[in-house]
Structures are given as C-alpha cells and as structure tokens.
Structure 1
Amino acid sequence: MAALSTSLIVSTAAPALADEIVDEVKPVITSTGLTEGQLIGLSSRIFPTATDDTGVQYIAALIGGRGRMQTVESVAKDGLLVTPGVQYNNMDVDLTVRAYDAARNYGEVTTRVHVDAVAPTATFTPKSVKLSGTTTITASDVSDDVTEIVMSRNGQEISRATAAPWVFGWNTRATDPDYDGYPQIKFTIRDRAGNVTEVFKKYHVDNRGPKIEDVTSLVGRGRSTLRAWVSDQGGVARVEWWVDGARRGEGWEFAYDFGTRSRVAPLTVKAWDKFGNLTAVSQNVVVDATAPAVTWISPASGALVRGDRIATSIKASDSAGWLHAGLAGGYVNSEPPVDATSGKLTGVRYVKADGRYTLTWNVYDRVGNRTTVSRTVIVDNTRAKLTVTKAPKNKAKVKGTVKITAAASDKNGVAKVQLLVNGKVVATDAKAAYKFSLNTKKYGKKIKVQLRAYDRAGNVTTTSTRTWYRR
C-alpha cells in the first residue's frame, strides 16, 4: 500500500489508512499552538502537540471543515501550515487542530482566531534617485498592523525598523564601495498576523569619482594651457590642477607658466562629482623649451637659380615632433607627419624678376617653439650675350683647319662656350676669349656650325647657324 504524502487536503472524514489496528483510544491534543483570538495571516505556521497510546501519525488544521494534513515529523520540524482563504478576511473563525493515530482515531481542539488575509503595504521614498555615501530612505503609508520592515541587499541586512517613524539609514559605501550602478534593494514588510510583502527597489548608487582622460602631457616654454577630459554621469562639480606639488588653479583647462627651460613637471588633476566623490590622476608633464633644429640642403647661400619659382628643401628634427612649417613668399609642398621627430621638407618660392631673393623658413614643433632660418639666392633668367668675333661667313667655302673666336658676357658670369658642328658638340672652352679650331677634313662637303654659351645660372644662348662648304 502506497505511503501517504506529508501534506494533504482533508475533510471532516477520517483519512484512508493502512491495515486495520484494533485501537479505540483517541489522540489527545496537548497544545494547539494557538491562543484564543490570535491573529492568523494568509500563510501561518503553528506548532501543535498531541499524544496517543500508539502514537500520533498526522496532524491537520481545519477552517470551515477543510484544511491541510501533515506528518507529525514535518510539523515538529517546520510547523503546521495554516492557509485560510481571503474570504475569511477580518473574520473570527474556528480553527480546529486534529490529530490522527494509525487506527483512524482522532482527537481535536478548536480555537477561535481572527483572520487577516490582507498583505501589508508601504511606500518608500525617494522612489528613484541617484544616491551616494550615507543616505536615508523613509517608508510612508505603512499599514497600521505592520510590526517590522527590514531593508536588505543580496541577503545582507542593511537596516531595520519596528515602529514609526519608518526611517532606514544606508551607508552605500559600506555595501557598494567604488560603485556606479543600480543595486537592487529589498524591503520585507511583516504585519502582526505574519503576512509578508516584499518590495524591490533599484537606486542609482554613485560612489565613484569622475573619469579623467586625455590629460595634457607636453607643453612649451612659458605660459601654456593644460586640458583634460573630465566626465561624470551625475555631473562634475569641481576640477583642480596641482603643478609642482601645489594647487595652481581650477577649471576644465588651466594656463600655467612653466618657465623657459626644458624639464619634467609633476602634475595632478583632481575632480569631484556633485556627491563629493574624488578622482585624482597624477602624471608628468614634459616642458619642451627647445626649438626644432634645422639644416639646409638646397640651394646654398648665394646660389644662382633660374625659373619663375625657386625649389628649396631643408632637414629638421625635434624631440617633441613637428606641428607645421611655413615658407615666406611661397608654400610647403611636402612635410613629415605632425608627430614626426625628423625628416625633410620641400617648398617653392615664387619669383617675379631677376635679383636677390631671401628664402625664409619657419619651423614649429608641437608646442609652438619656432626656428627661423634664412638663405639668400640670386635669380638669373637673363641669357649671356654671345658674339662670333672671327669665323668664315655663312655659305663660305672652307678647307683645312678653320679658326673660330667668340666673345661672351653675363652679369653673373659665363660658365662655358661650346662649338657645335652639325648639331653635335665638338669642343668646349670655359675661358675668355673663347677660341676653337675646326679641321674641316673630318666632315662632309656641307658643314653647319653654331656656338652655344651657358651662364652660371644655366641660361643658354645660341648663335645662328652658319653653313660652310668644304672645297
């Protein structure tokens, strides 16, 4: 025969039990675990006791003839569960405790109780707000029969109140240090009848200071501006700047005179949110008082150049990296990235006419230190003057070795004069007066002759072609 469950719904009739036992002695209820007029809630546990000559097996609690049966062992351990329906709310009812032995004999005792089938309530303020440190939460509109409210988080009790005023202190730094989030708080409300209501609330707890990022780490000489990105969900209340171990100013950015020499300065940025939570970030600031170093590449000082633009280039280096470079009267068409520490820069300077031109470069590093360098060059776009002073005339008949002389001049000097025969250079003379000897036997019957002069700037002057006929 199957064993009975430890909890059954029963009526006034005795339960069906195992084999018949000849036993007419009824169990005796020695205590119902109740007092006359006692409050019973929606779910209550009582601890009745009973005796019997052969032993009590089951105990039941009945209201209106119906209830719950449990084994003696479960009652002794956890109590007898009494669950009157809401239809009995605020009513005086008879609660019968009945004990059964193995022979289906039962004894019972009835106690008049008062049923409270309404769960307790309360309203908690603040309802939803950002909190920090130690705060106070108040319960209002509390049911009249509430005997206790317990505030807890993750099973850990925070605060308890047993009477009005229903006030709960919460040290959020003790339960949630360095926290910025939404912890769940449970309020357990109990009334005189043992009814329990659990209320769960989420508050935004902020025990963390503002976030400090992108703090200036490199400055130039003299007065420089320090900046930092400071953020906090609840708002930033104050930012302080500490330089060289002392408080120097406040605000999102701060100007400070770092002096005229390169050095490393200790810096601390402190920020508070509106709750007084503090964050401090310490680092070093590199003070760069050294301007970029520049070496010229081209053109050299005093160089002769030609054309309508002057191509120029320099090399520069700086430990802090370059910000930009400028060329007076022209433009920079190639430079390294901003954070490069060395490299080559090229530029073009515009030219309007012949004469002396100064090439001025300004090179800046990332913190504004500047180096200015200048070189002067001479622009010469005027060709040299070239004259044939002695040579056979055009269409002349020639034989043997022919002598040719020329005169050339230029304000910046002549570099050379060349003799061209049939379009090819056959001789060059770099000294005035310019003399050439041409052996006509090396060429055909028809010989075309020209002279070509180069000035020191590279300008070219060519004479008209003379055609000779070899005899």
Structure 2
Amino acid sequence: MSTLRAAILAVLCGLLMIGVPAWLPLSGPQAGTAGAAAAVGAVVPARSAVSAPGAVLHGVATIAPASLADDTAGVVYILGGRELGRAAGAPWALTLDTRSVFGSVSGDFRLKLAVIDRLGGVTYRYPSYRVDNAGPVIDTTGIPARVAAGRTELSVRVGDLSRTARIEWWVGGVPSGTGERITADLHGNTQVTVKAWDRVGNTTAVTSLVITKRS
C-alpha cells in the first residue's frame, strides 16, 4: 500500500465514525447483537469462496462487493458506526466470523461499505446478506402431552431460513423415523425427541414427554 493510500484510509477511518446512522437488521428479531466483538481480517484465505451481496452467510465467511471501479484504493467495512475491517486490494474481500458479528441468529442484514478511490473520494454501498447461524424452528403442537396407549400419530412442523435438510424422530431413545410425521407405539411415559438440520449444518433438538392414559 502506498503512503498516500495509507494516509487516506487512516483519515477516512476517523471520519467514518461521525454521523453514521445506526445499523439495523432488515428483518428478524435479533437487533442489538451486532455489538459483539468480531474476528475479522482483510486477507482472503487461499481457495476461500467469496460470497457476493445477497448470499447466505454461515460461520466463518468471506464477503466482497459485486464489482468496483478500476481506481478503487480501499474498502472499509462498517457495522453500527464501527469498523469491522479493511480491504486494500482486489477482490476487496473481508473474512469474518458471522457468529461473533451477528450472533447465533437467522435474518437479513445490511452493512455499510466506504469505497475510497485513488484521489481520496469516497462513495458508499449498502450490501445486504442473509445470515443463518440458527437451527430450524420446530413446532411440536402435533405431539400431545397425553395419549391413549398404543399406536399414535405424532407430527411436527419445521421451518428454517435455509430450508430443512433432515428431520429425525427418537422415541424412548430409539430412532423411530424421519420427516414431519410418524406413527409410534407408545406405552407408559415416553420421551419423544425430534432433531432437525438445515442445509448449512445448523441443528435443533426438542424433547417432549408423552404420557399414556390409563384405560
């Protein structure tokens, strides 16, 4: 990096903290989690896949603007008025731990990018990303608390931002089926566990106690 470019970035970093509007998630219930410390860096690991705006981010991810002008000298990534990191060369990418930056959440989020040209001019971009660090949501309404002894139909509804990859049922500690609906032979008090995975590897497990009625 030239001395002039370094000076521009240093000055810009100080100026960016003034008058920056509060960063908010576009959707999802997890506002306020962006203040967590972030493990970030401006160097892209070898063979690291770079995610363009609009991509689904999970775990450690590398992000970059879709395209920048040839006279770009640097990019500063900003979150909630603070600097996440800088990129000083093409592809102007930043690697970050999305769990540290956004938390264990799922939702659509927007960053602010300050793009500096070689003459010190600054333009701004506001790319959006879909972050998925939370497991599927399992609705267990279809698992009654009390049932008659014998064959019983059990069901759940599972939803996830990245779509569900697999659902497993465990009845009394024994694998008993897959999908959103099974029929199980229940007697006595039985623990019913439903495990679900999404397409990026997040998982959720919910256990219910089902009591059989006395005849």
TM-score range, shorter chain: 0.5 to 0.7
Match status 1:257 vs 2:185: yes
Deviation at 1:252, TM superposition (A): 0.7
Matches within 5 A, 1:177-326: 177-213=103-139, 214-217=141-144, 218-258=146-186, 262-288=187-213, 290-291=214-215
TM-score by length of 2: 0.66
Q: Which residue of 132, 143, 149 corresponds with 2:75?
A: 149
Unpaired segments of 5 or more residues in structure 1? 1-37, 40-44, 46-77, 79-123, 292-471
Structure number with greater Rg is 1
Contact 2:53 2:66 in 1 (8 A): no
Instruction: Check 1:185–1:227 CA distance in 2 against 1; reply closer, same or farther (3 A cut).
Output: same
**CA deviation string 1:122-166 (max 9, x = no partner):** xx9623233333322233543333222122221333332111232
Taking the aligned partners of 2:196 and 2:87, their CA distance within structure 1 comes to 37
Structure 2 CA distance, aligned partners of 1:152 and 1:137? 13
Q: Aligned partners of 1:219 and 1:233: how far apart in 2? A: 33
Give the structure with the larger helix fraction.
Answer: 2
Offset from partner CA, 1:87-107 (integer Å, 9 cap, x none): xxxxxxxxxxxxxxxxxxxxx
Q: Aligned partners of 2:58, 2:211: CA distance in 1, in Å?
A: 37
Contact 1:140 1:166 in 2 (8 A): no
In 1, are the aligned partners of 2:107 and 2:161 still within 8 Å (CA)? no
Secondary structure at the counterpart of residue 111 of structure 2: strand
Distance 2:59 2:51 in 1: 17
Equivalence map 1:430-469=2 (5 Å) = none
Gaps of 5+ in 2: 6-10, 16-49
Measured at CA, do residues 156 and 282 of structure 1 come closer, stay the same or move farther in structure 2, by a change above 3 Å? farther
Instruction: Provide Cα deviations, 1:262-281, integer angstroms capped at 9, x if missing partner.
Output: 52111221112222222221
Separation in 2 of the partners of 1:280 and 1:257?
Answer: 21
1:162 aligned residue = 88
Separation in structure 1 between the aligned mates of residue 69 and residue 130 of structure 2, nearest angstrom: 27
Aligned residues: 168
The counterpart of 1:132, out of the listed 58, 61, 77, is 58
AA aligned to 2:178 is: E
Which structure has more relative contact order (CA 8 Å, sep 6+)? It is 2
Inter-partner Cα distance in structure 1 for 2:133 and 2:82: 19
1:174 correspondence with 2:77: no
In the alignment, residue 77 of structure 2 is paired with which amino acid? M
Partner AA of 2:163 in structure 1: G
- Does the C-alpha gap of structure 1 residues 284 and 125 become closer, same or farther in structure 2, counting only changes over 3 Å? closer
1:167, 1:158 → 2: CA distance?
12
Q: Distance in 2 between matches of 1:139 and 1:201?
A: 8
Quote the Cα distance in structure 2 between the aligned partners of 1:183 and 1:240: 31
Q: Deviations over 1:214-256 (max 9, x none)?
A: 1413333333222112222432221111222343321111222
The aligned runs of 1:381-400 (5 Å cut-off) are: none
Aligned-CA RMSD value: 2.8
Give the equivalent residue in structure 2 for 1:315: none
Partners in 1 of 2:54 and 2:86 — Cα distance?
20
Pick closer, same or farther for the CA change 1:284–1:141 going to 2, 3 Å. closer
3-state secondary structure, aligned to 1:128: coil
| Aligned partner letter, 2:109 | P
State the AA in 1 paired with 2:196.
Answer: A
- The secondary structure found in structure 1 opposite 2:103 is coil
Q: Is the 8 A contact 2:53 2:65 kept in 1?
A: no
TM-score (norm 1): 0.32
Distance 2:174 2:56 in 1: 33
Q: Quick one: distance in 2 between partners of 1:228 and 1:129?
A: 29
How far apart, in 2, do the equivalents of 1:172 and 1:151 lie?
14
* SS of structure 2 residue aligned to 1:174: helix
CA distance in 2, matches of 1:193, 1:255: 69
